[in-house]
Amino acid sequence: MNSRTGQDSAGLRARAEAASGGLPALMLSAERLAASLTVGAHGQRRAGTGEDFWQYRPATAGDTARSIDWRRSARSDGQFVRDREAQVAQSAVLWVSAAAGMEFAGGPDRVAKRDRCDLLALAVALALLAGGERVALAGQPPRPGRMQADRIAEALVSRMPLNADDDVPPAEALRPGQRVVLFDDFLGDPAPLLAYLERAAGLGVQGALMQVLDPDEEGFPYGGAVLFRSAAGALRHDTRDAGGLRAAYLARLAERRELLGRAALAAGWHFGTHDTASPPAQAALWLWSMLEG
């Protein structure tokens, strides 16, 4: 990835042009994806400001005369106030890992993990915005509206990858009541993520972990003598028989998933996986259901 950071401004600009050229395509596919999701406000299952009837309750001191439901009060002696279900526009925070490994694609015909994450994140953002929610990328203030989708898309495309193997979601940006979706391969050091989940649970923040992997990472189709190198070059592993490592690797991968799943469950989060070879709609639907619930 050094080659990327080392590019001169002209190269960066050319890349930005190319990326912005891909922006409409991303928006388009994200919109198509978002269209398949069910749109709606989120009932809070309690009285509050909203449009749906929630309950009648006896008027108490402090209720204004305007709030008394006269039609219901006429049927009895007391005065009743018509409560509506509390309806708040939720703020959702999306975070896509910028780790160097996210640029990985198992083959020239594959989608890089980062691109798939961008697509999923934007699709979810579009769906949420269409539902009137306030959405932002992590570290930015959530805003509603169509314009916010464009900003998010722009930020996703123009974001530069890190020259490191690990990227950590900003725990200090967590706010109570937020919904958070983390997109990552979660192949890095799990400790910061577990700390993040703990803090999120403490703040009452709910959300989902979306693990996006390349089929190569899921299947480990290597054999013979291989020198494995992490994307940033920090880690190496030399083997003479890569094929013999497959089972151990898959076991470790499963262990990692189980660890994440348990941690997510403990924090009230959801953990889902997706590989770039399968259609993105599946993952988008799953995410939507998780966010709805």
Partner 1 sequence: MLVLGPLGFLAPWLLAALAALPVLWLILRAMPPTPRRVLFPGTRLLVGLRDAHPVARHTPWWLLLIRVLAIAALIFGFAGPVWKPAPHLAGQGPLLIVMDAGWAAAPDWAARQARALQALDLAGASGQPAALLVADGAAEGALPFQPAAELAARLRAVQPQPWETRYPGDLAQLLAQAPAGLSVLWLSDGLDHPGRAPLLAELTRRGAVTVVPPQGPRRSLQLVAGDQPMLRMRSIGEAAGALPQILAMGVDPQGAPRELARLKPLQTEPDPGVDTRLVPIDLPSELKNRITRLQIEGQESAGAVVLADDSVRRRKVALVGDASASEGQQLLSPMHYLRRALAPTTDLIEGGLGDVLQASPDVIVLADQIGLPEAAALQEWVEKGGLLIRFAGPRMAASEHLAEEPLLPVRLRAGGRDIGGALSWGDPRGIAAFPPEGPFAGLAVPPDAAIRAQLLAEPSPDLAGRTLAQLSDGTPLVTRAALGQGQLVLFHTTANAEWSNLAISGLFVEMLQRLVQTARAGAASVEAPASAQTFWTPVQVLDGFGRALDPADPVPVSAADFGKGPGPGRPAGLYRAGERMAALNAGGRMQSATWPGARVEARAQTPGTDLRGGLLALAVVLFALDALGSVWLARGRSPRAIA
What is the gyration radius of the CA atoms in the chain, in angstroms? 23
The one among 6, 75, 240, 293 contacting partner 1 by CB under 8 A: 240
Q: How far is the CB of 138 from partner 1 (least distance, A)?
A: 21
Q: Considering the complex, what minimum distance in angstroms separates the CB of residue 60 from partner 1?
A: 60
* CB of 16 or CB of 251, closer to partner 1: 251
- Which of positions 218-237 make contact with partner 1 (CB under 8 A)? 220, 222, 224-231, 235-237
Cα 282–chain centre separation: 14
238 near partner 1, rule: CB under 8 A: yes
- Both tokens of 233, joined, read 């070059």
Using CB under 8 A as the binding rule, whether residue 164 contacts partner 1 is answered as no
Under rule CB under 8 A, residue 189 binds partner 1: yes
Q: Is 185 in the site for partner 1 (CB under 8 A)?
A: yes
Separation between Cα atoms, residue 90 and residue 77, nearest integer Å: 39
| Helical axes 191-203 vs 246-266, angle rounded to 10° | 20
- Nearest approach in angstroms of CB 30 to partner 1 is 24
Bridge partners of 184, per DSSP, are 211
Supply φ then ψ for residue 57, to 5 degrees.
-135, 150
Q: What tokens appear for 25 in the block? A: 């395509």
Helix (H) or strand (E) holding 80: strand 80-87
Q: Of 83 and 275, which has the nearer Cβ to partner 1?
A: 275
269 contact partners, CB below 8 Å, separation of at least 6: 197, 200, 201, 206, 207, 208, 209, 263
Q: Which of 16, 248, 265, 266 binds partner 1 (CB under 8 A)?
A: 248
Site string for partner 1, 73-92 (x = CB under 8 A): --------------------
Interface residues toward partner 1, by CB under 8 A: 99-102, 104-105, 108, 165, 185, 187-189, 214, 216-217, 220, 222, 224-231, 235-241, 243-245, 248-249, 252-253, 256
